Amino acid sequence: MNAPSTASQRAMFVFICFVWGTTWLAMKVGISTISPGVFAGLRWTLAGAIILAFRAARGQRVMPPPRLIPRLLLVSVVLITLNQITQLYGLKYITAGLAAVISSALTPIALLVFAVVAGQERINSRQAAAIGLGVVGVAMLFGPAAMAGTLDGWQVIGAVGVTVGVLCYTAGSVMTRPMMRTLEPVQLAGLTDLIGGLVLLVSALAVEPGAWQSMHLQWGWPAFLGWLYLLIAGSLLSTTMYFLLVRDWGASRPGTYAFISPVIAVAIGCTLFDEKLDWGEAIGMLLMLGAAGLALRPARGSPVPLPRPTAAPVLNEG
């Protein structure tokens, strides 16, 4: 049986929902003027370096055991490199709203499916009902606006890019959980951020048009502030919290943030940008909140618990 969620776990989940409900706008602003590979690569590389440096300063383990290095490289590329580059290039050709629809509808479903296939979780009727309810809510909230126009070829390519990015992210999330038998969540977050970010940055500098010009860092204030928000709130804080929740809750429960983040995005739009909310959208918000509440209730037998790694005050052990 799962232990009840603690107040700190619930607070982390709320923070993740808010931050990841506002990152699409920051990414859209950034990639309008900056090479996507450099924009994301610098962010994740620096985030990983900061996390690992902080651990080293506290005398905590930084390096992984050699036997985990091949798997760590694979997970880092899937979770960070492929996810970021496909999503950001997809976002160049579709609206942030449509990207949110794809991510919100697909993330919890993909997380649960990958977790079931990996033997980490067992699906039950309550989870299936929660996912179905959440998808209906997403459709009511974003569907009419997203589908109002006809998608051209580039929009289709953009939608496919965001979809592939979500699948990489969810697959990578599930792949990280067995590694938490050996690596601490924060340590794993720092390693995957650093490795995935470096691979993305080096690849961008090798093949991406405009990458070297972007390295001059003459981005303008909107793009720089968006990047800084993504680095601190998105990469350093939210991602680390997410790893902790994946360890303690399993892969699919934290993924229900995708039912709540769009509600936050709409609320911010109505409050700060005077966007209108009709009854259909309001009902969609309520359905998504209800779905998240249903999915987040602790259930017997899911997930399969993981032993926690023993923290060792050893520097660069490997």
The per-residue pLDDT for range 2-23, each reduced to its tens digit, is 455 788 888 999 999 888 888 8
More reliable by pLDDT, 136 or 65: 65
231: its two tokens: 């680095």
- The pLDDT score that the predictor gives to residue 81 is 95
As a whole number of angstroms, the distance between CA 138 and CA 119 comes to: 28
Name the residue type at position 156. V
- The pLDDT score that the predictor gives to residue 312 is 29
Residue keyed to tokens 């998504």: 288
Where b means 16+ CB within 10 Å and e means fewer, 247-261 reads bbbbbbbbbbbbbbb
Mean of pLDDT values over 173-185: 86
Is cis: bond before 303, omega within 30 of 0?
Answer: yes
10: its two tokens: 């619930």
153: its two tokens: 């070829």
Name the residue type at position 85. I
The per-residue pLDDT for range 32-58, each reduced to its tens digit, is 889 999 999 999 999 999 999 999 999
pTM, two decimals, is 0.74
300: its two tokens: 């017997």
Name the residue type at position 229. Y
More reliable by pLDDT, 19 or 302: 19
Could you give the angle at which helices 23-31 and 36-57 cross, rounded to 10 degrees? Answer: 120
The per-residue pLDDT for range 212-268, each reduced to its tens digit, is 999 999 899 999 999 999 999 988 888 778 878 877 887 667 877 777 887 777 777
| Longest pairwise C-alpha distance within the chain | 57
What is the C-alpha end-to-end distance of the chain, expressed in Å?
34
Lowest-confidence segment of 15-29, 125-139, 284-298 by average pLDDT: 284-298
**CA-CA-CA-CA dihedral for 255, 258, 260, 261, to nearest 10:** 120
Contact in structure between 33 and 217 (CB atoms under 8 Å): no
Instruction: Count other Cβ atoms within 10 Å, centred on residue 307.
Output: 8
| Rounded CA Rg of the chain | 19
Mean of pLDDT values over 135-157: 67
As a whole number of angstroms, the distance between CA 314 and CA 187 comes to: 13
pLDDT above 70 as % of the chain: 80
For residue 302, the 8-state DSSP code is B
pLDDT above 90 as % of the chain: 33
Q: What is the 3-state secondary structure (H, E, C) of 161-223?
A: HHHHHHHHHHHHHHHHHHHHHCCCHHHHHHHHHHHHHHHHHHHHHHHCCCHHHHCCCCCCHHH
- The pLDDT score that the predictor gives to residue 303 is 46
Q: Is the pLDDT of residue 296 over 80?
A: no
Q: What is the mean pLDDT of the chain?
A: 80
